[in-house]
Structure formats: C-alpha cells, structure tokens
Amino acid sequence: MIEVRELTKRYGRVTAVDGLSFTVRPGRVTGFLGPNGAGKSTTMRAIMGLDLPTSGEALVNGRRYQAIERPLHEVGALLDASAVHGGRTAFDHLDWLARSNGIGRARVLEVLDRVGLGSAARRRVGGYSLGMRQRLGVAAAILGDPAVLLFDEPVNGLDPEGIRWIRELMRALAAEGRTVLVSSHLMSEMALTADHVLVVGRGRLIAETSMADLSAQFKRDVLVRSPRPTALAAALTTAGAAVAQMADELVVAGLDVAEIGDLAFAHGVPVHELTPRSASLEEAFLQLTGETVDYRAEGANR
Ligand SMILES: Nc1ncnc2c1ncn2[C@@H]1O[C@H](COP(=O)(O)OP(=O)(O)OP(=O)(O)O)[C@@H](O)[C@H]1O
C-alpha cells in the first residue's frame, strides 16, 4: 500500500506538488493521470525516497522509503529507463543489483526470462533499443519480488508489441495482489490499463474514481434512429428531453436508453437504433484538467 499525505514539493518558486493526499491499494492497477508538469514524476520520486518532500510524507507499507530495511523487497519502480550504465550487460547490471541486496543468481535469470530478455542478457545495454531498456528497468523493479510497484509513463517510446506487453504485465502484477501505480498523461492509455484513477493537475488531486465511474460520468447523449422520427421527437420532448432531429436520426439528451425505449414502446413507435454516446475519454480528461494545464496559450479557450 502507498499512502501520500499532504505532500508538497517546491523547487525554488515552482510548486511541483501541492498538498497531495491519496492512498493506493493492492490488487488493482491505479492510474496516476495528469497533463505534463502535473507533478506525477515528482510524487513518484518522493515515494521512492529520491526527492525529499518540502512538507508532508509519502509512505510505502506504512514507512518512509529511507526507513525500509530491504527496500528492493518492498517496492520497485520504473522511473527512468535510460539510467543504466551502457557498458554493462543486462545480466551484469541485475546481478550487481541482486548481490548488493542478498538476492541469488537464480532470481536474476528468472526475471530476465519474465521480461523477455533471456536471450539478450549477455549483450551490452548500450546496444539495447528503448523497449529493451524498459524491459530491463522492469526486471530491476521486480527483482526483489516487491508487493508495491511504480511505473512512470512506462509505454513512452514503446512499439505496439511492447505496449501490450507492459499493460499485460501490470495487470498480472496487480492480479497477484500487488499494489501497482502507473502514471500517464493519456486517458486512453489509462482506460486500457487502470481499474482506478487518480487525476492530478498542477500538483493537486482533481478526482479519484474507478475507471468505470469516470466513463459513466461523461455520458453525453443517446442516438436514436426511427422510421417515425417526428412522432418520437414529440413524445420525447413532452417527456422533458432535449431533442435534435436530422432526417430519421434523433440526438436525445436528458433521458437514458431505457426511458427512451419505453417511451417509444408506449407510443407504438418503432425504434431501429438506440446508442448511448459518451464524451470521449480524452474530452473527459480535458474537462477535468482544463483549468489546471500550465502551458495553455494566453487567452485560449476563455
Ligand atoms: N528538479 C527539478 N527542478 C526544478 N523544477 C522541477 C524539477 N522537477 C520537476 N520540476 C517542475 O515541477 C513540475 C512538476 O514536474 P513533474 O515532472 O513532477 O510532472 P509530471 O506530471 O511528471 O510531468 P511529466 O510527465 O512532464 O514529467 C514541473 O513544473 C517541473 O518543471
């Protein structure tokens, strides 16, 4: 479990994280969603003890990172995949990490296989593609078999195969009962990976919700097709809906699919299509974070 309490981090005059509080629970993938500069990486670095909070705290299993005796066994993170020394082989890199943490060679080979680097393990990391480096970063994160895992924008720079692999891995790690926190600036990515999302903007928590609720919250209208659109439009309007008609197509707001279907049935009007439409997830995200995007051009959208 991860607990972030009233976390604030300032860099000089920039407040990267501003009184942020949330809890990340085990057994599901929690998305950490926000536009660039929202403070996601800073928060993750604070959880990993790489950044000292200005105030507040970030705890892993109830303790600050610095107070954890065997950190590799409690929490793993993929923060910056390019941080590996290029002259080393993947095996040497992990073996060195393992030995300094009392982990055996068998485990090194096991994680290399799990991330699909078994056959490339003896090659120098300098010659690795970005995707292979990401895999090596994941191998290092899971080396100590930790119950808590953090991934900072893990799909960045990956090809479609790599993206699918990392999504499935995160879901598998959560299904094993681990706590998985993954950051992204893309709602569409979160929709495919996360069960639960924390939405942040300018260092603050904007929303915390299940992915399903977030999608439901942004239901927009219902598309209705009928061979008697005018009769149906009249009935819907009388029932309080806002209706726009184009030929045999009605766009209905204010009533849900069941209410529209029942009303059509009650009026003996045939219905050929009833489709609920949501605001796209990206639209929902923009709506949630629009106020908090730092880099918006002066005067735009006002
Ligand atoms: N070491 C640092 N020194 C100064 N400012 C920093 C530092 N690290 C982050 N910041 C600033 O803090 C804010 C939050 O950055 P952070 O990297 O945490 O955001 P993010 O949500 O992870 O975004 P991104 O996806 O772009 O990395 C930004 O304004 C950033 O410029």
* Cα 205 to Cα 289: distance, rounded to the nearest angstrom: 10
CB 149 within 8 A of CB 76: yes
Of the listed ranges 3-12, 52-61, 118-127, the least confidently predicted one is 118-127
Give tens-digit pLDDT for 198-239.
Answer: 999 889 998 898 988 876 776 678 999 999 999 999 999 999
- State if residue 137 touches ligand 1 by the CB under 6 angstroms criterion: no
Looking at the chain, the whole-number percentage of residues with pLDDT higher than 70 is 90
Average pLDDT of every residue of the chain: 89
For position 279, what pLDDT does the model report?
Answer: 66
If you count them, how many residues does the chain have?
A: 302
Residue 55 has pLDDT above 50, yes or no: yes
- State if residue 40 touches ligand 1 by the CB under 6 angstroms criterion: yes
Q: What pLDDT band is residue 4 in, cutting at 50, 70 and 90?
A: very high
How distant is the alpha carbon of residue 290 from its chain centre? 18
* Cα 106 to Cα 110: distance, rounded to the nearest angstrom: 6
How distant is the alpha carbon of residue 175 from its chain centre? 16
* Cα 184 to Cα 72: distance, rounded to the nearest angstrom: 24
Report the nearest atom of ligand 1 relative to the CA of 34: 21
Question: Taking the domains of the chain in order of start, what are their residue ranges?
Answer: 2-215, 219-278
Instruction: Pick the closest to residue 15 from 31, 36, 37 (CA basis).
Output: 37
Residue 73 has pLDDT above 60, yes or no: yes
Structure-block tokens of residue 91: 């095996």
For position 36, what pLDDT does the model report?
Answer: 85
| 3-class secondary structure per residue, 210-237 | EHHHHHHHCEEEEEEECCCHHHHHHHHH
**Does domain 2-215 bear CATH number 3.50.50.60?**
no
Q: Mutate which of 18, 42, 187 to test ligand 1's pocket (most atoms within 8 Å of Cβ)? A: 42
Domains 2-215 and 219-278 share a fold: no
Q: Would you say the pTM of this structure is higher than 0.95? A: no
Report which protein residue has its CA nearest ligand 1's atom 6. 11
Strand 204-210 with 219-225, pairing: unpaired
For position 297, what pLDDT does the model report?
Answer: 41
Q: At residue 277, what are phi and psi to the nearest 5 degrees? A: -120, 135
- State if residue 37 touches ligand 1 by the CB under 6 angstroms criterion: yes
Three-class SS state of 299: coil
For 228, other C-beta atoms within 10 Å of its C-beta total: 16
Give tens-digit pLDDT for 241-263.
Answer: 999 998 889 999 989 999 999 99
Q: Where are the beta strands (DSSP E) in the chain?
A: 2-11, 14-24, 28-33, 55-60, 75-78, 148-152, 179-184, 196-201, 204-210, 219-225, 242-246, 249-253, 273-278
Give tens-digit pLDDT for 157-194.
Answer: 788 888 999 999 999 999 999 999 999 988 778 888 99
Regarding an ipTM greater than 0.90, the answer is yes
Give tens-digit pLDDT for 122-147.
Answer: 999 888 888 888 899 999 999 999 99
CATH of 219-278 given 1.10.3720.10, 3.30.450.20, 3.30.70.980, 3.40.50.1820: 3.30.70.980
Q: Mutate which of 4, 14, 204 to test ligand 1's pocket (most atoms within 8 Å of Cβ)? A: 14
- State if residue 38 touches ligand 1 by the CB under 6 angstroms criterion: yes
If one compares 35 and 272, the residue with the highest pLDDT of the two is 272
